[in-house]
Amino acid sequence: MGDWNNTRLYPTSGAYHGSDMHMVFGNSAAVSGIPTSEPQKELTTLIQRAWFAFLDNPSTGLSEFGWPMFDPNKKTLIRLGNDNKPEYELLYPFSYDAPCSNITLGSLG
């Protein structure tokens, strides 16, 4: 989703849960006081268009937008804004899959 100066909690925080909301609503500068860069504006537009395509038609909107239906065996995982570039990449889902065997969930562990 990118690592923008105006969405960081602190210099090395990187992306975090909810940081994508800045991109959806386009309010990074308003929240942080740090101006939005041109690549960030372009990525925000891409993300907003994808959201609107989905909202307009949850069944086929993203396919009509040009994004593939998810298939765990094909490059269908969408990575947005890698290296702060205003674009998306299609990846194999297994490139991000990992076991969660080392995670303890409160009383379940």
Could you report the average pLDDT of every consecutive run of 10 residues in the chain (109 residues)?
84 82 89 91 96 96 95 95 94 84 61
Residue 13 domain flag: no
| pLDDT the model gives residue 108 | 57
18-43 residue pLDDT tens = 888 988 999 888 878 999 999 999 99
Residue 66 domain flag: yes
Residue 1 domain flag: no
Residue 11 domain flag: no
Residue 36 domain flag: yes
CB atoms within 10 A of CB 41: 16
Q: How many domains does the chain have?
A: 1
Residue 83 domain flag: yes
Q: Domain containing 88: what range? A: 20-108
Residue 78 domain flag: yes
Residue 58 domain flag: yes
| pLDDT the model gives residue 18 | 84
